[in-house]
């Protein structure tokens, strides 16, 4: 879990950004592709739009994630080339994986983008022989909990004051076998 604790130490507190008016994007298809260091600026910007109230991944967090060898990262790209979503997963030495973050641009939400990235991640993990994927989610983030439950994750425990602002999390797990 050294990777995870390093990531947590690189969080910054919530960065206030201006409220934006969300206009749904034109209908488009999405392709899930690897996310690499050359997309660092774009993913940082999208991350700030996705996570307004909690710990934000900073430039340093992403730099760290992009240079760690045991990390899978994908982006969902709309037909116009815009990054619509991102996901990062840590591969642990014990044969499990840890979904550290997933976000979808507000104008592309509720179109199956997160589901499609989760499906992509799972297929890649199965090829690598990973049997279990775990994640933490804020107790107040019912949207994300609904997504994970819909994709077969179960809540196994509540961890008190997991986040820096004192909010608890649910630990959710999915078996890939
Ligand atoms: C959570 C998040 C990634 C979902 O992305 P998305 O692309 O809109 O999700 P999908 O369209 O793939 O949704 C799949 C299913 O998840 C559930 N779901 C997703 N958004 C939901 C919402 N706002 N309300 C209720 N259920 C929702 C539904 O079951 C949905 O299936 P349905 O549309 O057929 O009903 C996105 O809302 C987001 O980026 N939120 C901010 C960042 C965040 O909280 N990340 C998770 C951190 S743990």
Q: In this predicted model, what pLDDT tens digit does every residue of 48-100 receive, in sequence order?
A: 999 976 567 888 999 999 999 999 999 999 999 999 999 999 999 999 999 99
Distance in Å, CA 77 to ligand 1 centroid = 17
Please choose from 109, 133, 136 the residue to mutate so as to test ligand 1's pocket, defined by most ligand atoms within 8 A of CB.
Answer: 109
Distance in Å, CA 67 to ligand 1 centroid = 28
Q: Give 15's pLDDT tier (boundaries 50, 70, 90).
A: low
What integer pLDDT is reported at residue 109 of this predicted model? 98
- List, as one string, the DSSP characters of 144-156: HHHHHHHTT-EEE
Work out which ligand 1 atom sits closest to the CA atom of 135.
48
What integer pLDDT is reported at residue 19 of this predicted model? 76
Average pLDDT over residues 10-25: 72
Average pLDDT over residues 34-57: 89
This prediction's pTM:
0.93
| Ligand 1-lining residues (CB < 6 angstroms) | 50-51, 102-104, 109-115, 137, 141, 143-144, 146-147, 150
Residue pLDDT, tens place only, 157-169: 999 999 988 999 9
Residue in 84, 102, 85 with CA at minimum distance from that of residue 153 = 102
What integer pLDDT is reported at residue 46 of this predicted model? 96
Residue pLDDT, tens place only, 113-153: 999 999 999 999 999 999 999 999 999 999 999 999 999 99
Report the SS3 class of residue 123.
helix
Distance CA 138, CA 62 (A): 21
Task: Give Cα 52 distance to the centre of its chain.
Answer: 14
- The β-bridge partners of 88 are 73, 101
What integer pLDDT is reported at residue 20 of this predicted model? 83
Domains of the chain (ranges, CATH numbers):
2-11+31-175 (3.40.630.30)
Distance CA 157, CA 129 (A): 25
Task: Answer with the residue of higher pLDDT: 162 or 4.
Answer: 162
């Amino acid at each position: 879990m050294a990777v995870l604790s390093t990531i947590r130490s690189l969080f910054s507190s919530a960065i206030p950004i201006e409220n934006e008016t969300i206009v749904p994007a034109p209908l488009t298809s999405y392709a899930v592709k690897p996310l690499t260091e050359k997309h660092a600026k774009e993913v940082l910007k999208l991350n700030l739009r996705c996570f307004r109230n909690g710990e934000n991944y900073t430039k340093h967090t992403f730099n760290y994630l992009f240079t760690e060898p045991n990390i899978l990262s994908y982006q969902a790209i709309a037909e116009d080339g815009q990054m619509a979503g991102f996901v990062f997963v840590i591969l642990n030495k014990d044969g499990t994986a840890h979904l550290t973050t997933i976000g979808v641009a507000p104008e592309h939400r509720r179109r199956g983008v997160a589901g499609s990235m989760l499906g992509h991640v799972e297929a890649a993990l199965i090829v690598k022989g990973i049997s279990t994927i775990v994640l933490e989610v804020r107790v107040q983030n019912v949207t994300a909990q609904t997504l994970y439950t819909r994709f077969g994750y179960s809540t196994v425990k509540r961890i008190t004051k997991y986040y820096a602002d004192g909010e608890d999390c649910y630990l959710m797990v999915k078996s890939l076998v």
